[in-house]
Every structure is written in structure tokens, then in C-alpha cells.
Amino acid sequence: MTKTYADDQQLLSELIGRDLASVEFVRDYVQLRFDGPQLTAYSWPTLYDAGHAVTRGTAGYCDALVALINQVVSAVTLKEGKELIIEWENDALLHIDLRHKSVTMPEAVMFSLGDEHKHWMVL
């Protein structure tokens, strides 16, 4: 069976209602863990909170991502080949550009439910 865009969106919807458990900064990517599911972003996310954009390299970026711990995901939107947006109940938005020029891996994002048989990647 061939995987489709709808399959990707459905798999990502597993994040809705889950709270962020941890944020791990690794050399050139960031991992967001949700007590099982894990999202690895090789394209550094931009966080929009209270009308302000916080990007990697700006003061407070790491603190802003860590502040999402214990926040609950309210929506996930995948715009195929363009962007992934995670919305939180506190009105913060996490935007991951899937076309980002500085992606260091062939994938921009990798998502896992924690089940070895269910993985999702953006190439």
C-alpha cells in the first residue's frame, strides 16, 4: 500500500490532545517528545507566541521552546511539501518550514509514534 498525504496528516493528528513532555536540542536539530510520539525537526522551528516570532539564534529561543513543556497540542496542520504547523492550547504556534534551505538531512521532519512500525518522514 502506498503512503499518501492524508496518511501523513492522520498520523500527525495523534499529537492533538497530547502535552509536550520534553525538548532536546541536538547539534543541528531539535526533538520534541510527547510521552511516546516524537517529532524530530531538522529544519529549526519558528515559534509564534503572543504575536512575536522567535527563531533560532535569537535571545530566548531555547527558553521559548522549553516553555511549551506541559502545553497541550490543539491542532496540527500539514501543508504538503511546504510547512508543518503545531498549535497549542495556549495559542502558541510552532512552524516548521519543510522547504528550509539549511536542512542538514535529506528529511526536514521525522515523526514517530513510538511504535517501530509507524514512522513518517518528509523528504
pLDDT in tens, 18-47: 999 999 999 989 999 998 899 999 989 999
pTM of the model: 0.88
Return the half-sphere exposure (C-beta side, CA atoms, 13 A cut-off) of residue 51: 0
- Rounded Cα distance between 40 and 54, Å, is 18
Distance in angstroms (rounded) separating the CA atoms of residues 25 and 7: 28
If we measure between CA atoms, which residue out of 65, 51, 56, 121 comes closest to residue 94? 65
pLDDT for 66-97, tens place per residue? 999 999 999 999 998 889 999 999 999 999 98
Q: Classify residue 20 by its DSSP letter.
A: B
CA distance 46 to 44: 7
Question: Distance between CA 119 and CA 8 in Å, rounded?
Answer: 9
